[in-house]
Chain A
């Protein structure tokens, strides 16, 4: 009977972990878990990080422009990436892998090493430390939940440069860069397009957990849709998991039942929602990577992250001897965020013009997507 109890307890613990689903990007739970391990003196800084992340975009947009070393004659360097999901997830992790590969096409890079699928923060921390110890010049910790670990690891390797995202906080460390995406900008533009295309007047958004990059995107999309047409209803459903494909699929079913004929969503579990949208001929807007391959008939556009814009500048700095200390934001203006329209989907000239105008207005500052 004892074993019965133990087994039942184990099952329940696993269920709770699974259902709370905090295994990717900026989850509060994982961040909290890592910060408790950090020395108490550092704790106040780390606990502030989440709020910084959401507020930072507008403050730090100038950062890329401050480049001092322009295209220094870079010696071949070695880059390592540690990321939570699969390298080809058509979402968060793929964006950084594509970014590094794009850089590799332009510059001489001796080696690119990738450890993906590190949902477990401890595994990621081990990989980050391993790469640093093995003499990689730049170690990219692609996941805000890795921040607590990075804060402990980076001081041990003062010769190594670390990049951390999506986040705004460099912990005041001289060898840490932070990067994030103003994903609300592309979200806003696609929200405007979505409101122009909806016939039912209802839009559905599937999100993972209401934090960080996901929240920024969803808020931007909603603001854009409502800015274009105040009569549009935007239903938002955060499923509570970055990985539960079945739940994302059912969330899309719920949106369809509520009358949505335009949908969007963010994080890698949305493949389940896209499939439902395709079945019911509901239009889809993607983010983080171009999702048109998943459903060519219904994907209107995708907001694509071009991290190479940031990486290029970081590599310049590293070559010039500056190993960290600044934070970056990719946005529509600096070309780090790009709207890729699906060529198989015909968009009317009016709507296309509206989209272009919205992009121009955001770049000029005439429109501020979210507060």
Chain B
């Protein structure tokens, strides 16, 4: 255990937690918009996978990580629009249609990878930025202020999402549509337009999350996300549909994962327990979900398609 309380290991634990949290945070923030307006999009992981592949492939071809991120975002917008069409306009059952999007993304990303790339080839990663001054602080600098640029962007998106949801007319419409679409509709708010916007925002964030993951790892492989999109959806529930809560959930999940990895590396968790320990993040998230679910109420119209006059 004394091995754990060294500067290098503690910094790696916290920095690792933050790195692991970033794709989850981005995807979950986007999903929060959709769910606050009453749309559950289960296709997040599929969108992440296609975002990851397009980001990876773009960087592979151009060498520019920013083009890669833009490609991921672009794919996210397209798939977000497609998801909107399916669940908002065509009124598909949300518990099922998203799974279709997921399976599409899972299969298509692998197919494209096999056809266009084949054997994994490393790509360049996001540049690491040491924030002047802050990164020199002993211990804390290495933990919080010496990360790849996408990490800062992801955390800056949290206050931005809070502002949009809580302080703007658009945000008020989102909440109204998610709680009582009939009332919002009678007041002249276009339910479908708001939901198209939020689901597309969700897709955009998911695409960005996938690209961030692939470009941060510098590699692509079949099923790169390993179901992180589903964890992100769970984190929206965990975070009680609030950006800050979602961020706390993503960090908790990342932290438990990172801690378990460090403990296993140092032998604090015996090797024979490692497979069980690998499940710890999922178990803790489930427990937290159970507790949170009792305290907070989901948006009333969540998963309910809206048709006028019903």
Interface residues of A (CB under 8 A from B): 1, 3-4, 6-8, 10-12, 14-21, 85-86, 88-90, 117, 119, 204, 209-210, 235-241, 243-247, 249-251, 253-259, 268-269, 271-272, 275, 278-279, 293-295
B213 at the A interface (CB under 8 A): yes
Contact across chains for A6 and B8 when beta carbons are under 8 A apart: no
- B256 to chain A minimum Cβ distance, whole angstroms, is 11
Complex interface: chain B residues within 8 A of A268 (CB)? 221
Contact across chains for B11 and A257 when beta carbons are under 8 A apart: yes
Chain B 178-218: CB-based contact to A (< 8 A → 1; otherwise 0) = 00000000000000000000000000000000000100011
Contact across chains for A247 and B261 when beta carbons are under 8 A apart: yes
Complex Cα distance A15/B279, Å? Answer: 9
Contact (A14, B217) CB under 8 Å given A4-B298, A210-B275: no
Complex interface: chain A residues within 8 A of B223 (CB)? 119, 243
- B36 to chain A minimum Cβ distance, whole angstroms, is 14
Contact across chains for A253 and B16 when beta carbons are under 8 A apart: yes
Chain B 270-283: CB-based contact to A (< 8 A → 1; otherwise 0) = 01101101110110
Contact across chains for A6 and B226 when beta carbons are under 8 A apart: no
Contact across chains for B122 and A235 when beta carbons are under 8 A apart: no
CB-nearest residue of chain A relative to B236? A11
Complex Cα distance A25/B227, Å? Answer: 19
Contact across chains for B217 and A3 when beta carbons are under 8 A apart: no
Contact across chains for A237 and B274 when beta carbons are under 8 A apart: yes
Contact across chains for B279 and A20 when beta carbons are under 8 A apart: yes
Which 4 pairs between the two chains have the least Cβ-Cβ distance? A240-B278, A257-B12, A18-B227, A254-B265
Complex Cα distance A295/B11, Å? Answer: 26
- A sample of 20 cross-chain residue pairs with beta-carbon separation below 8 angstroms, ordered by A number, consists of A7-B42, A14-B227, A14-B230, A15-B234, A15-B282, A19-B281, A88-B114, A88-B118, A210-B274, A235-B265, A235-B266, A238-B274, A240-B278, A243-B222, A250-B20, A253-B19, A257-B262, A271-B221, A278-B122, A293-B121
Complex interface: chain A residues within 8 A of B304 (CB)? 3
Contact (A20, B278) CB under 8 Å given A245-B219, A254-B265, A271-B219: yes
Contact (A250, B302) CB under 8 Å given A12-B289, A209-B275: no
B89 at the A interface (CB under 8 A): no
CB-nearest residue of chain A relative to B11? A257
- Give chain B's interface residue range (CB within 8 Å of chain A): 35 or more
Give which listed residue, B42, B94, B217, contacts A245 with CB less than 8 A: B217
Complex Cα distance A245/B214, Å? Answer: 10
Contact across chains for A85 and B3 when beta carbons are under 8 A apart: no
B146 at the A interface (CB under 8 A): no
Complex Cα distance A294/B219, Å? Answer: 10
Complex Cα distance A313/B155, Å? Answer: 58
Contact across chains for A16 and B279 when beta carbons are under 8 A apart: yes
CB proximity to A under 8 Å, residues B244-283: 257-258, 261-262, 264-267, 271-272, 274-275, 277-279, 281-282
Complex Cα distance A194/B241, Å? Answer: 49
Complex interface: chain A residues within 8 A of B217 (CB)? 245-246, 249, 272, 275
Complex Cα distance A8/B50, Å? Answer: 24
Complex interface: chain B residues within 8 A of A239 (CB)? 261, 278
CB proximity to A under 8 Å, residues B105-135: 110, 114, 118-122, 125
Contact (A18, B230) CB under 8 Å given A241-B278, A256-B12: yes
B153 at the A interface (CB under 8 A): no
Complex Cα distance A362/B272, Å? Answer: 28
Contact across chains for B279 and A250 when beta carbons are under 8 A apart: no
Given contacts A21-B226, A250-B258, 6 further A-B contacts (CB under 8 A): A6-B95, A15-B282, A19-B227, A19-B281, A238-B264, A257-B265
Complex Cα distance A204/B267, Å? Answer: 12
- A30 to chain B minimum Cβ distance, whole angstroms, is 13
- B307 to chain A minimum Cβ distance, whole angstroms, is 16
B33 at the A interface (CB under 8 A): no
Complex Cα distance A323/B118, Å? Answer: 34
Contact across chains for B8 and A15 when beta carbons are under 8 A apart: no
Complex interface: chain B residues within 8 A of A251 (CB)? 261, 264-265
Complex Cα distance A229/B203, Å? Answer: 53
Complex interface: chain A residues within 8 A of B173 (CB)? none
Contact across chains for B222 and A85 when beta carbons are under 8 A apart: yes
Complex interface: chain B residues within 8 A of A210 (CB)? 271-272, 274-275
Contact across chains for A11 and B261 when beta carbons are under 8 A apart: no
Complex Cα distance A194/B217, Å? Answer: 25
Complex interface: chain A residues within 8 A of B19 (CB)? 250, 253
Complex interface: chain B residues within 8 A of A257 (CB)? 8-9, 11-13, 262, 265
